[in-house]
Structure formats: C-alpha cells, structure tokens
C-alpha cells in the first residue's frame, strides 16, 4: 500500500479532497459527474483523478464510454488508524491512568 | 512539528508511577483507550527487551503494536520503539516513545510522553482535524463486517 505520507500528500489539495469526499458521500461517479467539483477544466479534473489513483485512494473502472471512479477503502482506513493511533491513544490511556490512580488511593484508605 | 508531547500532573508518588509505567500489572490498568481490551501482551518496560500488545474492540477489530525497550532509568524515564502491525501482521513505520517522570512535590508527579519520529508530512498535520468528520463517515461505511 502507498506510504501514509504519500496518501496525505495526495489528499492535501482542495480539489482532490473534494473529489474523495464526494465519492465517499455519494458512491462511485463518472468523470463527467465529478466535473462540477471545482471551477476547473475537464483535463485538470483528470489530472487530479490520476494523482488520486496513483496514490491508491481512488479506483477506476470502464463502463462503455465512461470511466467510473470510486474510493478505495484501505488507504483511508490506514489514515483513520493513524489519526486515532497516536494523540487519541495516549490521551485516552492517560485518562485511564488517572482513574487507576484514583482507585488505588481509595483502596489504600 | 509532527512530534507529539503530552503531559499529565498526577496525584501519585514516584514509586507508584514507576510501577504504573513499567510493570505488566501497572501497565495493563491503563494501556489503550477505554473500550479496547488487551487480550495478549508482553508489556514489561522494566528491562531492555521486546514488547508487544494486542488490543481488541467490541466488534472484533484487532490492533497490534510492538517494539523494543531502549532505555530504563529507574524512576526517571523509559524509552521504547513503537510500530503498529497491519492485518497481515506486517510491522509498519517505527517511531519512538519516552515516558518520563518529574517529581512535583510530595505525592505529585508529572508524566511526560514524547512520541517522536511519526510520519512527518506537514500537510498531514494541517489537515488532520478537517478529516475527522470524513473519517467518521468512512468508518461507518467501511466498518468490518
């Protein structure tokens, strides 16, 4: 799978982020349906889709004349895991540590 | 700056805190967020040795993290490497954690966490918050069956 920093880099663009959000919210869409995502040309949209595909964030399938795009779940699951992993992991653990200390105090009284 | 520093001032003695952050009996009382259990672990930071923990959620999610204890300075700090495993048990990028203790007075200790070497894409840091709502949606959408 694409390394996380590369996934983040691919998403760190307002148009590409909007494409991923649209595909998440509404399911798969053709390039034509995605055209209104930003006030840019169709070739520009295609370039953004290419970046997303190369980062593994978006898949493409051909349906007749149309190219249909969808979000690939795994990279986004990896981001999700990364986000909860660190700060939340430690904050939540420290909350429990504080509670454990409180309990110990009560028991020793 | 991707590195993460958290501090907590706690009502405990240095001895108590040292046990909490180095012994298996102490660590399992607080290791991992509420709602996750730790069914398998080798959590002993009192010696320089490998460690791991497997946390599991109520819906069967399984999160494994492992590393190696890199230093033990009694009642002062412990350091260990840290990497999550993916679902195929492949170990991901390694970062480093230090848990330090600073006495603040009788029965009061500051716990300082330094987690360094995390993926350091600046854009990632800027955008993380904005992604949270998308990620919540995503989690519902792709929740493991």
Give tens-digit pLDDT for A59-107: 999 999 899 999 988 887 777 666 556 777 888 899 999 999 988 767 6
Q: What burial class does residue A19 get, using C-beta atoms within 10 Å of its C-beta: 0-12 exposed, 13-18 middle, 19+ buried?
A: buried
Does the predicted model carry a pTM greater than 0.80?
no
- Residue indicated by tokens 């190369």: A54
The number of C-beta contacts closer than 8 angstroms across A and B is: 106
**pLDDT tens per residue, range A29-50:** 998 999 999 899 989 999 999 9
Which mean pLDDT values do the consecutive 10-residue runs of chain B (145 residues) have? 75 92 92 84 97 85 90 97 84 89 93 80 38 41 42
- Mutate which of B45, B65, B123 to test chain A, going by most A C-beta atoms within 10 A? B123
- Nearest residue in chain A measured CA to CA from B98: A90
B56 three-class SS: strand
Q: Please answer yes or no on whether A98 and B8 come within 8 Å at the CB atom.
A: yes
**Contact criterion met (CB below 8 Å) for B65 and B82:** yes
Give the residue from B80, B89, B3, B8 showing the smallest Cα distance to A99: B8
């Amino acid at each position: 799978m694409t390394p996380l920093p590369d996934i983040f880099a691919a998403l760190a663009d307002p148009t590409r982020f909007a494409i991923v959000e649209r595909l998440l919210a509404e399911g798969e869409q053709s390039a034509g349906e995605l055209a209104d995502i930003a006030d840019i040309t169709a070739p520009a949209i295609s370039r953004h889709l290419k970046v997303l595909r190369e980062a593994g964030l978006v898949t493409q399938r051909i349906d007749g004349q149309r190219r249909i795009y969808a979000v690939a779940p795994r990279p986004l699951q990896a981001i999700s895991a990364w986000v909860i992993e660190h700060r939340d992991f430690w904050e939540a653990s420290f909350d429990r540590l504080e509670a454990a200390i409180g309990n110990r105090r009560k028991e020793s009284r | 700056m991707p590195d993460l520093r958290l501090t907590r001032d706690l009502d405990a003695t240095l001895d108590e805190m040292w046990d909490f952050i180095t012994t298996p009996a102490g660590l399992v009382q607080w290791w991992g967020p509420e709602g996750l259990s730790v069914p398998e672990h080798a959590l002993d930071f009192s010696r320089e040795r490998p460690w791991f923990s497997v946390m599991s959620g109520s819906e069967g999610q399984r999160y494994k993290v492992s590393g190696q204890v890199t230093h033990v300075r009694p009642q002062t700090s412990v350091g260990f490497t840290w990497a999550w495993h993916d679902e195929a048990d492949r170990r991901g990028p390694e970062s480093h954690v230090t848990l330090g203790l600073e006495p603040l007075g009788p029965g009061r200790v500051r716990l300082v966490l330094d987690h360094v070497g995390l993926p350091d894409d600046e854009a990632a840091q800027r955008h993380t918050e904005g992604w949270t709502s998308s990620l919540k949606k995503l989690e519902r959408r792709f929740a493991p069956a």
